[in-house]
Amino acid sequence: MANLRTNTAGILSPNPFWLASAPPTNTGDQVKRAFDAGWGGAVWKTLGEPIVNTWSRYSAVDLNGVKMIGLNNIELITDRPLEVNLREITEVKKQYPNHAVIVSLMVESKREVWHEIVKRAEGAGADGLELNFGCPHGMSERGMGAAVGQVPEYTCQITTWVKEVARTPVLVKLTPNITDVRQAARAAKSGGADGVSLINTINSITGVDLDTFTPRPAVAGKSSHGGYCGPAVKPIALNMVASISADSETRGLPISGIGGISTWRDAAEFILLGATSVQVCTAVMHYGFRIIEDMVDGLSNYLDEKGLAVVEELRGRSVHTVHDWKELDLNYVVRASIDQEKCIGCGLCYTACNDGAHQAIGAERGENGRTIVRVIEDACVGCNLCSLVCPVDDCIRMVQIPTEVAPCSWEQHQSGQGKLAPRPQDKNFH
Amino acid sequence: MRALKSSLDPFAEKKPAMARDEALIEANRCLNCYDAPCMRACPTHIDVPGFIKKIATGNLRGSARTILEANILGASCARVCPTEVLCEGACVLNDLHHQPIDIGRLQRYATDPFVVAATGPDARPMFTAAPKNGKRAALIGAGPASLSCAAELSRRGWEAVIFESAPQPGGLNTYGVAEYKMTYETSLKEIEWVLECGAELRCDTTIGRDIAVETLLSDYDAVFVGVGLGPVGPLGLPGEDLPGVRDVLEFIAELKTSDRSAMSLKGQKVAIIGGGNTAIDGVTQACRLGAEVVYMVYRRGLDDLPAYAHELELARTDGAQLVLNALPTCVTGPDRVSELTCVRTRSGEPGSDGKRAFEVIEGSEFKLDVDLILRASGQEKRRGFLGTIPSLELDRSGRVVVDGDGRTGNEKVYAAGDCVSGGQEVVNAVADGKRCAVAIDRAFRGGN
Ligand SMILES: Cc1cc2nc3c(=O)[nH]c(=O)nc-3n(C[C@H](O)[C@H](O)[C@H](O)COP(=O)(O)O)c2cc1C
Ligand code: SF4
**Prediction ipTM score:** 0.73
- Phi, psi for B171 (deg, rounded to 5): 55, -135
What atom of ligand 1 comes closest to residue A58's alpha carbon?
Answer: 1
Give the pairing type, strands A255-258 and A226-229.
unpaired
Please choose from A375, A385, A400, A425 the residue to mutate so as to test ligand 2's pocket, defined by most ligand atoms within 8 A of CB: A385
In this prediction the pTM is: 0.85
> Among A104-108, B5-9, B232-236, B388-392, where is mean pLDDT lowest?
B5-9
Instruction: Measure Cα distances from B268 to A61, B273, B291, B292 in Å.
Output: 62, 16, 5, 5
Judged by a CB distance cut-off of 8 A, whether residue B22 touches chain A is no
How far does B323 lie from chain A, in Å, by closest CA?
40
Please report, for the domain that includes residue A330, its CATH number: 3.30.70.20
Nearest CA in chain A to B25: A391
Q: C-alpha angle A72/A74/A76, rounded to 5°? A: 130
Would A54 be classed as within a structural domain?
yes
Same domain, A247 and A342: no
Which ligand approaches the C-alpha of residue A337 most closely?
Answer: 2
Query: What is the DSSP-derived secondary structure letter of residue A416?
Result: T
Which of residues A321, A352, A373 is at a domain's end? A321
Judged by a CB distance cut-off of 8 A, whether residue A265 touches chain B is yes
Would A69 be classed as within a structural domain?
yes
What atom of ligand 2 comes closest to residue A375's alpha carbon?
Answer: 5
Q: What is the pLDDT of residue A217?
A: 96
Atom 4 of ligand 2 has which residue's CA nearest to it? A380
Kindly tell me the sign of the dihedral angle through the C-alpha atoms of B140, B178, B400, B246. Answer: negative
Q: Which pLDDT tens digit goes with each residue over A51-77?
A: 999 999 999 999 877 899 999 999 999
Atom 2 of ligand 1 has which residue's CA nearest to it? A22
- 8 A C-beta contact, residue A424 and residue A358: yes
Using a CB-CB cut-off of 8 Å, the residues of chain B touching A293 are 50
Same domain, A305 and A345: no
Judged by a CB distance cut-off of 8 A, whether residue A263 touches chain B is yes
Q: Which whole number is the average pLDDT over A276-299?
A: 98
| Single-letter amino acid, residue B363 | G
Alpha-carbon torsion angle B106, B111, B113, B114, nearest 10? 170
Would B14 be classed as within a structural domain?
no
Would A203 be classed as within a structural domain?
yes
- Of A265, A293, A305, which is closest to B121 when you measure between CB atoms? A305
Q: Which whole number is the average pLDDT over A401-426?
A: 91
| Single-letter amino acid, residue B266 | K
Q: How far is the CA of A380 from the centre of ligand 2 (A)?
A: 5
| A361 Cβ inside 6 Å of ligand 2 | yes
Would B240 be classed as within a structural domain?
no
Instruction: Measure Cα distances from A122 to A7, A89, A95, A134, B196 in Å.
Output: 19, 10, 17, 21, 53
Map chain B to HEC letters.
CHHHHHHCCCCCCCCCCCCHHHHHHHHHHCCCCCCCHHHHHCCCCCCHHHHHHHHHHCCHHHHHHHHHHHCCCHHHHHHHCCCCCCHHHHCCHHHHCCCCCCHHHHHHHHHHHHHCCCCHHHHCCCCCCCCCCCCEEEEECCCHHHHHHHHHHHHCCCEEEEECCCCCCCCHHHHCCCCCCCCHHHHHHHHHHHHCCCCEEECCCCECCCECHHHHHHHCCEEEECCCCCCECCCCCCCCCCCCEEEHHHHHHHHHHCCHHHHCCECCEEEEECCCHHHHHHHHHHHHCCECEEEEECCCCHHHCCCCHHHHHHHHHCCCEEECCEEEEEEECCCCCCEEEEEEEEEEEECCCCCEEEEECCCCCEEEECCEEEECCCECCCHHHHCCCCCCCECCCCCECCCCCCECCCCCEEECCHHHHCCCCHHHHHHHHHHHHHHHHHHHHCCC
Judged by a CB distance cut-off of 8 A, whether residue A392 touches chain B is yes
Q: What is chain A's Cα-based Rg?
A: 25
Which ligand approaches the C-alpha of residue A399 most closely?
Answer: 2
| Separation of alpha carbons A262 and A19, rounded Å | 11
- Of B1, B32, B58, which is closest to A265 when you measure between CB atoms? B58
Same domain, B352 and B388: no
- A67 or A168, which is more confident: A168
User: Which residues of A does the annotation mark as catalytic?
Assistant: 135
Q: What is the pLDDT of residue B7?
A: 57
Q: How far is the CA of A200 from the centre of ligand 1 (A)?
A: 6
If you average pLDDT over every residue of chain B, what do you get?
A: 94
Which of residues B375, B401, B419 is at a domain's end? B375
User: What ranges in A56-105 are assigned the alpha helix state H?
Assistant: 82-95
Same domain, A192 and A45: yes
Q: Is pLDDT of B287 > 80? A: yes
Same domain, B50 and B165: no
Inter-axis angle of helices B48-57 and B60-70, nearest 10: 160
Q: Is pLDDT of B411 > 80? A: yes
How far does B22 lie from chain A, in Å, by closest CA?
9
Q: Is pLDDT of B354 > 80? A: no
| Separation of alpha carbons B236 and A193, rounded Å | 90
Q: What is the pLDDT of residue B353?
A: 73
The three-class DSSP label of residue A425 is helix
Q: How far is the CA of A133 from the centre of ligand 1 (A)?
A: 12
Q: What is the pLDDT of residue B437?
A: 98
Would B30 be classed as within a structural domain?
yes
Inter-axis angle of helices A152-165 and A181-190, nearest 10: 30
Using a CB-CB cut-off of 8 Å, the residues of chain A touching B33 are none
Q: Which whole number is the average pLDDT over B360-370?
A: 96
Same domain, A180 and A193: yes
Judged by a CB distance cut-off of 8 A, whether residue B62 touches chain A is yes
| A336 Cβ inside 6 Å of ligand 2 | yes
Same domain, B405 and B346: no
Q: How far is the CA of A72 from the centre of ligand 1 (A)?
A: 9
| Single-letter amino acid, residue A144 | M
Q: CB–CB of A298 and B57 under 8 A?
A: yes
Alpha-carbon torsion angle B308, B310, B312, B314, nearest 10? -150
Q: Which whole number is the average pLDDT over B272-301?
A: 96
Using a CB-CB cut-off of 8 Å, the residues of chain B touching A265 are 57-58
Would B5 be classed as within a structural domain?
no
Please report, for the domain that includes residue A209, its CATH number: 3.20.20.70
| Separation of alpha carbons B83 and B90, rounded Å | 9
Please report, for the domain that includes residue B28, its CATH number: 1.10.1060.10
Q: CB–CB of A66 and B121 under 8 A?
A: no
The three-class DSSP label of residue A340 is coil
Which of residues A321, A336, A354 is at a domain's end? A321
- What is the distance of C-alpha B200 from the center of its chain? 22
| Separation of alpha carbons B143 and A219, rounded Å | 64
Which of residues B346, B375, B404 is at a domain's end? B375
Q: Hey, which residues does A173 pair with through a beta bridge?
A: A132, A197
Q: Which whole number is the average pLDDT over A132-153?
A: 87
Q: What is the pLDDT of residue A63?
A: 86
Which ligand approaches the C-alpha of residue A200 most closely?
Answer: 1
Which ligand approaches the C-alpha of residue A349 most closely?
Answer: 2
Atom 23 of ligand 1 has which residue's CA nearest to it? A259
Same domain, A395 and A291: no
Same domain, B370 and B386: no
| Separation of alpha carbons A188 and A241, rounded Å | 14
Q: How many domains does chain A have?
A: 2
Atom 2 of ligand 2 has which residue's CA nearest to it? A383
- 8 A C-beta contact, residue B435 and residue B406: yes
Q: Which pLDDT tens digit goes with each residue over A172-218?
A: 999 999 999 999 999 999 999 999 999 999 999 999 999 999 999 99
| A357 Cβ inside 6 Å of ligand 2 | yes
Closest CA to A409 of A329, A323, A325: A329
- 8 A C-beta contact, residue B344 and residue B325: yes
Q: Is pLDDT of A429 > 50? A: no
Which of residues B321, B342, B375 is at a domain's end? B375
Q: Hey, which residues does B346 pair with through a beta bridge?
A: B359
Q: What is the pLDDT of residue A430?
A: 38
Q: Is pLDDT of A426 > 80? A: no
Would B236 be classed as within a structural domain?
no
Same domain, A67 and A52: yes
Q: Hey, which residues does B413 pair with through a beta bridge?
A: B223
Please choose from A350, A377, A380, A396 the residue to mutate so as to test ligand 2's pocket, defined by most ligand atoms within 8 A of CB: A380
Q: Is pLDDT of B355 > 80? A: no
- 8 A C-beta contact, residue B127 and residue B197: yes
Same domain, A334 and A260: no
How far does A2 lie from chain B, in Å, by closest CA?
15
Q: What is the pLDDT of residue B92?
A: 87
Would A286 be classed as within a structural domain?
yes
Same domain, B311 and B335: yes
Q: How far is the CA of A160 from the centre of ligand 1 (A)?
A: 24
- In which domain, by residue range, is B431 found? 136-230+380-445
Q: CB–CB of B59 and A391 under 8 A?
A: no
Q: Which whole number is the average pLDDT over A374-396?
A: 95
Which of residues A288, A321, A354 is at a domain's end? A321
* Residues making up chain A, counted from first to last: 430
Would A356 be classed as within a structural domain?
yes
Would B315 be classed as within a structural domain?
yes
Q: What is the pLDDT of residue A258?
A: 98
The segment with the largest mean pLDDT, out of A244-248, B95-99, B117-121, B444-448, is A244-248
| A333 Cβ inside 6 Å of ligand 2 | no
What atom of ligand 1 comes closest to residue A282's alpha carbon?
Answer: 27
Would A50 be classed as within a structural domain?
yes
Q: CB–CB of A297 and B1 under 8 A?
A: no
Q: Which whole number is the average pLDDT over A414-429?
A: 79
- In which domain, by residue range, is A22 found? 6-321
Would A219 be classed as within a structural domain?
yes
Burial profile B275-284: b = 16 or more Cβ within 10 angstroms, e = fewer: bbbbbbbbbb
Give A49: exposed, middle or buried? Use CB within 10 Å, 0-12, 13-18, 19+. middle
- 8 A C-beta contact, residue A360 and residue A372: no
Q: How far is the CA of B72 from the centre of ligand 1 (A)?
A: 42
| A22 Cβ inside 6 Å of ligand 2 | no
How far does B181 lie from chain A, in Å, by closest CA?
25
Using a CB-CB cut-off of 8 Å, the residues of chain B touching A343 are 1
| Separation of alpha carbons A416 and A420, rounded Å | 11
Q: CB–CB of B57 and A264 under 8 A?
A: yes
Which ligand approaches the C-alpha of residue A240 most closely?
Answer: 1
Using a CB-CB cut-off of 8 Å, the residues of chain A touching B64 are none
Mutate to test the interface with B, among A62, A63, A301 (most CBs of B within 10 A): A301
The three-class DSSP label of residue A372 is strand
Would A1 be classed as within a structural domain?
no
Same domain, B295 and B209: no
Same domain, A266 and A399: no
| Single-letter amino acid, residue A138 | G
CB pairs under 8 A between A and B: 36
Output the ligand 1 site: residues, CB below 6 A.
A 20-23, 45-46, 71, 73, 75, 77, 104, 132, 134-135, 173, 200-201, 229-230, 233, 258-261, 280-283
| A384 Cβ inside 6 Å of ligand 2 | yes
Q: Which whole number is the average pLDDT over B443-447?
A: 87
Same domain, A285 and A343: no
B38: left (phi over 0), alpha (psi -120 to 50) or beta: alpha
If you average pLDDT over every residue of chain A, what do you get?
A: 95
Q: How far is the CA of A201 from the centre of ligand 1 (A)?
A: 6
| A358 Cβ inside 6 Å of ligand 2 | yes
Q: How far is the CA of A199 from the centre of ligand 1 (A)?
A: 9
Would B238 be classed as within a structural domain?
no
Q: What is the pLDDT of residue B100?
A: 96
Q: Hey, which residues does B273 pair with through a beta bridge?
A: B297, B375
Would B291 be classed as within a structural domain?
yes
Q: How many domains does chain B have?
A: 3
Please report, for the domain that includes residue B435, its CATH number: 3.50.50.60
Q: Is pLDDT of B6 > 70? A: no
Same domain, A173 and A133: yes
Q: Is pLDDT of B334 > 60? A: yes
